[in-house]
Amino acid sequence: MTSTTSEISKGTALITGASAGIGAVYADRLARRGFDLILVARNGDRLRKLADELASTTGREITPVVADLTDAADLSRVEALLQDDAGITMLVNNAGVGSVASILEADVDAMQDMIALNVTALTRLTYAVAPAFVKRGGGTIVNIASVVGISVEMLNGVYGASKSYVLSFGHTLQRDLGDKGVRIQTVMPGATATEFWDVAGYAPQKESATTMSAPDLVDAALAGLDAGERVTIPGLQEDGPWMRWEADRRALAPLFAHAAPAGRYRVAA
């Protein structure tokens, strides 16, 4: 996996989807690494309980922010925090929702809500913090994607497409921000034992032998961040196939640049 070298700066990490699952583990791990936290989630009771526990066990300053990132006003509040709080040094875009339903089974309004959270909220929060990080001289953006961003046929099509977006977005963020002191990491979990599967409609996946625990996932992701990886795929045992896939993808780009259609598309006179 492509790597750069840099060190994590302490400060405040803002984590979305922080009340449970992967987000809650990130909160624990980052607090223990010396970060103060701003925890964002919809479930206020769980969020405040986690914030109190972490403040007690780690001694860090933990601020819960109850917000629904599919609500424009709530999303704007979080954007303003990222723009205005000079102490924020890391954004973890973890909030997301999934589905296993096909296009013939899924409700289109639910799919629109998925896009609003997985794509729109992630994009707006990144756009809010990126100029602030550049102005402050550095920062880290961690975007949680999924292996279904590549293996798009595995689950719901909108979910897979939303995670393909996160992966592609991360590549362009690296291009735009990598030389300006801003670190970008895209994390691509496989199946992870969280409430995601209850919401997505396939709870048994949590018990599968191929499903990773949330602590293992986050610990691996942070190890990848420490190593300077731009893309971290914790479940991929050998990184050679990914490196070749990425090299082939980049090598393909110049081959698109032709004014004339390929011979196979020429219509006989």
Angstrom distances, CA of residue 228 to CA of 186, 207, 267: 11, 32, 50
- Catalytic entry in 26, 159, 165, 265: 159
- For the chain, the three-class secondary structure string (H helix, E strand, C coil) is CCECCCCCCCCEEEEECCCCHHHHHHHHHHHHCCCEEEEEECCHHHHHHHHHHHHHHHCCCEEEEECCCCCHHHHHHHHHHHHHCCCEEEEEECCCCCCCCCCCCCCHHHHHHHHHHHHHHHHHHHHHHHHHHHHHCCEEEEEECCHHHCCCCCCCHHHHHHHHHHHHHHHHHHHHHCCCCEEEEEECCCCECCCHHHHHCCHHHHHCCCCECHHHHHHHHHHHHHCCECEECCCCCCCHHHHHHHHHHHHHHHHHCCCCCCHHHCCCC
Q: Is 159 a catalytic residue?
A: yes
Retrieve residue 268's tokens.
């006989």
Instruction: Pick the closest to residue 144 from 115, 122, 174, 173 (CA basis).
Output: 122
CA-CA distance, 26 to 40, in Å (whole number)? 12
Strand pairing class (62-66; 36-41): parallel
Q: Which residues are catalytic?
A: 159
